Amino acid sequence: MALFIVALGVALLLFLMMTVKLDGFTSLILTSLFVGLMEGMPLAKVAKSIFNGMGSQLSSLVLILAFGAMVGKLMADSGAAQRIATTFIAKFGIKRVQWAMLLTSFIVGVTMFFEAGFIMIIPIVYTIVKETKLPLIQVGLPAVIGLSTTHSFLPPHPGPAAVSVLYNASMGKTLFYGLIIAIPCAILVGVVYTRSNYVKSAIASIPEGLVSSKVLSDEEMPGFASSMFVALTPVVLMAAATFGEIFLPHKSKALVYLKFFGDGPIALMITALIAMYTLGIARGKKMDEVVKACSNSIKGIAMILIVIGAGGSFKQVIVDAGVANVMKQVVGGLDVSPIVLAWIIAALIRVAVGSATVAITTASGIILPILATSGVSPELMVLATSCGSVFASHVNDPGFWMFKEYFGISVAHALKVRTMYTCILAVLGLIGVLALNAVGF
């Protein structure tokens, strides 16, 4: 009966979002109330579970997403991301423009959220298309795929970061494992897939007057070295902590410092401070301009934060209602890999509601009870859940419509290209996680 009530709760969530058209935050809170009350929890305990779940879920995640948003905004406004793109295109040449755009979006996408990265990079794509006369889909699709890959596989992006906190996984290890999977996946989808006749047959064109974002001149952009330094700082800091855990003695003082500076919130705070100076103050901007840009970046992640928090509330109600123990017994008897199970649950919710954030937060709450007995590293479970949440973007996903409009593409061709590449990316990610688990990561 307990699991049936959770299933009813998920059905209610789908109804509220798909039929009633409520936002993810309100839908998740109402679903949490419904599940708690139907499971027989006292009213006061339901409310307490919702509050505790939201607080524990957001804890350090607020700092990660906030500092990550600041870095992304400063890189976009200063032209650092544009500098990386133009430099790679000059080095790779027009014939290898797909590699240049994929590499650019992958690097800037580590700290820049998908929507922000998309809006920032699309004017650069348009400029390259106009100058080279290359097809829009050939230039732009690898960039979008690079952003989707980092968004799906790598913290500090909302999905992987939120589940890392919930599963008590190492952010550094999750990033390291994610990179091992994400790099080949990005190449296979961003280069091989985009060169297929299947993709080339899609008709895309630059919409008239849609984008007003300014493309900066060479003199207005920061140097390549400083741009790359900012983009890679969080990766280097978190990677150093991860390798320190592997190779240094547990009581080493050096490891203490590496783990401190490589912790997600601290690494991103350091990166944000470096970006404020190198991309702002050092380039002649006043402090109030830099602070204003950072403040504006926070506004853009408000809804993401509260949806993730509401997902934490749903998880906590499931745990406090005692559903966790029932779920352990039922799932423990199934002959299904926990990795595959996490992926399937996240994928099904993603297809149903469209929101990757709702999919990953809901799926992680369902999967959490079996994590301790799964025998799988929490970092790989993070990636399995996250990969599933990117599956099959279609008409109920705002990102689908963003892709359609900015590429001037029909719904049919958007389904053909966008939906297919998210399916391929999700499946390749699952294969990658299974492979890492098989070799003992």
Q: What are phi and psi of 254, to 5 degrees?
A: -60, -40
Average pLDDT of the residues in 373-393: 91
Q: What are phi and psi of 436, to 5 degrees?
A: -65, -40
CB atoms within 10 A of CB 47: 15
- List C-alpha distances in Å: 209 to 123, 141, 144, 206, 313: 11, 20, 20, 9, 42
215: left (phi over 0), alpha (psi -120 to 50) or beta: beta
Burial of 12 (0-12, 13-18, 19+ CB in 10 A): middle
Q: What is the pLDDT of residues 55-91, one digit of tens each?
A: 887 877 788 888 888 888 888 888 888 888 888 888 8
Q: Report which of residues 254 and 207 the model is more confident about.
A: 254
The mean pLDDT value of the chain amounts to: 85
pTM of the predicted model as reported, rounded to 2 decimal places: 0.76
pLDDT at 36 exceeding the cut of 80: yes
Cα 296 from Cα 301, distance rounded (Å): 10
Q: What is the pLDDT of residues 6-28, one digit of tens each?
A: 788 888 887 887 788 888 889 88
- Which residues have C-beta within 8 Å of that of residue 215, sequence separation ≥ 6? 82, 123, 124, 127
Tokens encoding 300: 């853009």
pLDDT at 93 exceeding the cut of 70: yes
pLDDT at 336 exceeding the cut of 90: no
Q: Computed from CA positions of residues 6, 12, 17, 23, in that sequence, does the dihedral angle turn out positive or negative?
A: negative
Q: What is the pLDDT of residues 398-425, one digit of tens each?
A: 788 878 888 888 888 988 999 999 999 9
Average pLDDT of the residues in 203-213: 68
The helix (H) or strand (E) run that includes residue 207 is none
DSSP 234-252: HHHHHHHHHHHHHHS-TT-
Cα 416 from Cα 125, distance rounded (Å): 21
pLDDT at 332 exceeding the cut of 60: no
Q: Report which of residues 312 and 227 the model is more confident about.
A: 227
Dihedral angle computed from the Cα positions of residues 322, 328, 330 and 333, in that order, rounded to the nearest 10 degrees: -160
Average pLDDT of the residues in 364-390: 88
Dihedral angle computed from the Cα positions of residues 59, 53, 370 and 304, in that order, rounded to the nearest 10 degrees: -60
